[in-house]
Amino acid sequence: MKKLLSRLAGIAAPAPASVASTSGRSALDFLIREDGVRFEGAIAYGPLSRHRLDVFTPLARADGPIVLFLYGGAWTSGDRGTYEFVGTALASRGITTVIADYRLHPEVLYPAFVEDAALAYGWVDRHLARGDASARPVFLMGHSAGAHIAALLAVDDRRLAAGAPGAARPAGLIGLAGPYAFDPAFDPTTWKSTAAIFAPAAEAPDRGRPIAFVGARRPIPALLLHGRLDRTVMLQNTRDFTAALVAAGGEARAIEYAGIGHVGLVSALARPLRWRAEVLDDVDAFIGRATRSAGA
């Protein structure tokens, strides 16, 4: 992801000299920067080294909705610093955004990364969502493996309660190209086998499949996005998960973008690439509708 945006910075117009000389920021930083956003980084949400998160707060709307974003990387790679463009993009729309690291394979096996995400959600609930007046809505959002983790927390209340006891239920789920219906033990739908990562679920694969938990309780509102050119996580995951949520009485909408692949879907949130797909507009509209509905 960072390499992709760096190539973009190399062909785009350079930052003004005043920006480079006063802040030391690169052309890439200039391209993804948004005005009116306060950044707080490397905040501990738990005791381990990977239990760190960054917060992007819109100065004009510091009491608005919140998104906890979980990045992808096949449960084996990724870091929050790569996704600054997600934080600044959403914050530019008045959405406080939290980007959390979590433990990765081979350091850990499933479900450790899901437990970390629940712990991060608990931090968001305690430190950001609960105000003096009313609680702020918190949305779970993720891309690829991060969407899988977010979806598990969204459909299985027990997972969330274990890491975030007493926290309010999420206001909605926003999934970007998530493997919601794949068999984590035997049938990899990503570019390589994930059987080793999900070894604890080998004898009961449904334990790691978000779609298997739909129906235990009425689902929270969901927006599920996917690129039609995605060859990493098959589009059928989004279609099947959406159908399951609707069948269970949930409000779920799927949007498929033509001409967009797996990485292109999330990178369309970056300011220089928003012309490729209306991902930011669609996410912003969904959060706005869900927030208004929750306050009705």
Nearest C-alpha neighbor of 175 from the set 260, 119, 79, 256: 256
Q: What mean pLDDT value characterizes the chain?
A: 87
CA–CA distance, 131 with 266 (Å, rounded to integer): 31
Do 30 and 19 meet the contact criterion of CB atoms below 8 Å apart? yes
The pLDDT-based confidence of 237 (bands split at 50, 70, 90) is: very high
Structural domain contains residue 23: no
- pLDDT digit string (tens) for 98-142? 999 999 999 999 999 999 999 999 999 999 998 666 789 999 999
- DSSP for residue 12: S
Task: Give the three-state DSSP class for 123.
Answer: helix
Structural domain contains residue 7: no
Enter the pTM of the model. Answer: 0.90
- DSSP for residue 251: -
Do 132 and 166 meet the contact criterion of CB atoms below 8 Å apart? no
- pLDDT digit string (tens) for 79-93? 999 999 999 999 999
Structural domain contains residue 94: yes
- pLDDT digit string (tens) for 143-170? 999 999 999 999 999 999 999 999 999 9
Structural domain contains residue 28: no
Residue position matching structure tokens 């493997």? 179
State residue 185's pLDDT score: 64
Residue 6 has pLDDT above 80, yes or no: no
Structural domain contains residue 118: yes
Structural domain contains residue 287: yes
Identify any residues that bridge with 132 across adjacent strands, giving them in sequence order. Answer: none
Percent of the chain with pLDDT over 70: 85
Nearest C-alpha neighbor of 100 from the set 123, 70, 132: 70
Task: Give the three-state DSSP class for 223.
Answer: strand
- pLDDT digit string (tens) for 172-208? 999 999 999 988 765 444 446 788 899 877 677 788 9
Domain count, the chain: 1
Residue 20 has pLDDT above 50, yes or no: no
Percent of the chain with pLDDT over 90: 73
- DSSP for residue 125: I
CA–CA distance, 173 with 155 (Å, rounded to integer): 9
State residue 278's pLDDT score: 98
The CATH number given to whatever domain includes residue 213 is: 3.40.50.1820
Higher pLDDT, 138 or 28: 138
**Containing structural domain, residue 165:** 34-295
State residue 18's pLDDT score: 28
Structural domain contains residue 138: yes
State residue 34's pLDDT score: 80
The pLDDT-based confidence of 61 (bands split at 50, 70, 90) is: confident
HEC profile for 31-88?
HHCCCCEEEEEEEECCCCCCCEEEEEEEHHHCCCCEEEEECCCCCCCCCHHHHHHHHH
Structural domain contains residue 4: no
Angle at alpha carbon of residue 268, lines to 267 and 270, rounded to 5°? 70
The pLDDT-based confidence of 29 (bands split at 50, 70, 90) is: low
